[in-house]
Structure 1
Amino acid sequence: MVFVLILGGIIGIINKIGAFDAGIAALSKRTKGKEFLLVTLVFLLTTLGGTTFGLAEETIAFYPILMPIFLVSGFDAITCIAAIYMGSSIGTMFSTVNPFSVVIASNVAGINFTNGLMYRIIVLSLGSLITLVYMYYYAKKVRLNPKASLVYEDENAIHERFLKSYDIESKVEFTIRRKIVLLIFALAFPIMIWGVARDGWWFEEMSTLFLADAILIMIFSGLSEKDCVNTFIAGAADLV
């Protein structure tokens, strides 16, 4: 539980400084005119998170960030939810090196976690491909005919909620500071996987790693000490 709270606090700080917003905005800009590429990249990133470290409930923070971008790109809410939820679900379902499932289970069974790794990669790839194909045809159908959306009756309410204060022309600069913060956040996960697989880390060690990661992110965030602490607590509370 402590590990999840620390992770929630980190996500809170990253959201506070706009690093996720800036990164996603930069991604959206690069995929302009190729909107389904945005869906694919979001799906693949969440799948990668799911299969490597069990990304699941942590994705809650991504929905309000990504939903406006998907809506203004011509997709419906279901497409956004599917890209995030199905990505993390497929990833965790076909975990390859997820320390919370594969590595721990392998250690308990007394075998190396790399046993069957190729099989897991193959089924992960197949599951991802099937899901992406289905999402592509659904998204294409909805963009051509919005009435085909499964949430068409709620479309106005959804747009009112997520696009009311969203400025499509606003630009969140992807600064060096934000890039560094995201890099620090991302680097913690391969270290965690290495620790669990190599040295048998458990929640105490993983919590320590991410607490150190949180401190580094606070240092580079540019926020005051008070803002860092309050934002961290609020972020942790969001996952309770």
Structure 2
Amino acid sequence: MRNIAATVSYDGTDFNGFQSQPYGRTIQQEIELAIKKLTGEDIIILGSGRTDAGVHAYGQVFNFLTESTIPAERWAIALNTRLPKDIVILEAHEVEEAFHSRRSAKRKTYRYTIDMGKFPDVFYRRYSFHHPTPLNVEAMQQGLNYLVGEHDFTSFTSIHSTKPHHVRTIYEAYFEREGQMLHMYMTGNGFLYNMIRIVMGTMLQVGQGKRKPEDMARILEGCKRSLAGPTAMPHGLMLMKVEYPQES
């Protein structure tokens, strides 16, 4: 039995999230179907994490066990010919038996994109949230700085979270402009359900002057979802990269 790890990009617009669901189209189901067509095996892939309906990925990672003898370097092209056009396998390689795409992951980076133009960029409409009114980006960065480090992020996760605890470590968090786009990047050891989207919803309130940057410290300490802002729309969010302790 071989363990294959792969990196996949997908446009999440027409999907009901990454993980298989009883109803609706999912990335996991499409990839498993492609593997079935290729090898005849009924395989369940293991994703590095779930992405919600409408959320995209540039560098999602998954792994699976197979008895196939297909060379690792051939998996990407073989699967891509059997996948829909909104899913693309970027690369695949063989890993140790103990490798698990979620448990072995050490760092993940997400990006949330705001379109600050007077009119939305029609070619970026699937990947950004249009916010045409002015934002104080400097204040937003000041507020975001409070989230760097190890904290209990209960205030920034859904009340439906099933995690045993909400302590996570954020290594980097910053804003970057690209034309009329404003990207928020966050890198951490893990993220909670809706965490990035709730952070962005709160950051927008800071940018609008409805909250002060230092309010972020109070929100963190309060450990109560109602203290934070609304959950931002899913289509502005993208999983950029998943990092592991060493090349497997």
Shorter-chain-normalised TM-score: which range? under 0.3
Q: More strand by proportion, 1 or 2?
A: 2
Q: More helix by proportion, 1 or 2?
A: 1
Considering Cα pairs closer than 8 Å and 6+ residues apart, tell me whether 1 or 2 has the greater RCO. Answer: 1
TM-score, structure 1 as length reference: 0.24
TM-score, structure 2 as length reference: 0.24
